[in-house]
Amino acid sequence: MRVKIDKTKCTGCLICEVTCSLVHSGQVQREASAIRVKLGHLDYERHQPVVCRQCKKMSCLKSEGMETNADLRQAFFWSNAHQRQVDCAFGALFAHGDQLVHCNLCGGDPECVKSCPTGALGLAA
């Protein structure tokens, strides 16, 4: 399962970021969110939510000689191994202090998907 994004529906409201940070850190702090919205200039580009794509072979771990790690897949905060962030092919690991923030799909029921008012976020198998 992964979060599916329809960027044509994203308004840039950032509710997904606020929801994620509240659920996982207990405060509104965009830097503590595992989903980030790259705000585009409305005249010529769309807003683009970025979140972990839940790769079967976790490219973010390739420098460590692993293809996958069930414990890391389920964890929200990872130790800030900078190379993991660099190795992510989609730029979906975000530094927050001395940790990396990773989408763990809220244990299978992503809060960002439920809170998105426009339907820009959904679930895909």
Contact 46, 8 (CB under 8 A): yes
pLDDT in tens, the chain (125 residues): 999 999 999 999 999 999 999 999 999 999 999 999 999 877 778 899 999 999 999 999 988 888 888 898 999 999 877 789 999 999 999 999 889 999 999 999 999 999 999 999 999 98
- Of the CA atoms within 13 Å of residue 98, those in its CB half-sphere come to 0
pLDDT at residue 79, as a whole number: 87
Domain of residue 40 covers 2-124
pLDDT at residue 106, as a whole number: 95
pLDDT at residue 82, as a whole number: 76
**What CATH code is carried by the domain that includes residue 83?**
3.30.70
Q: How many domains does the chain have?
A: 1
Q: Which two tokens stand for residue 2?
A: 């992964």
Contact 113, 122 (CB under 8 A): yes
The model's pTM is 0.87
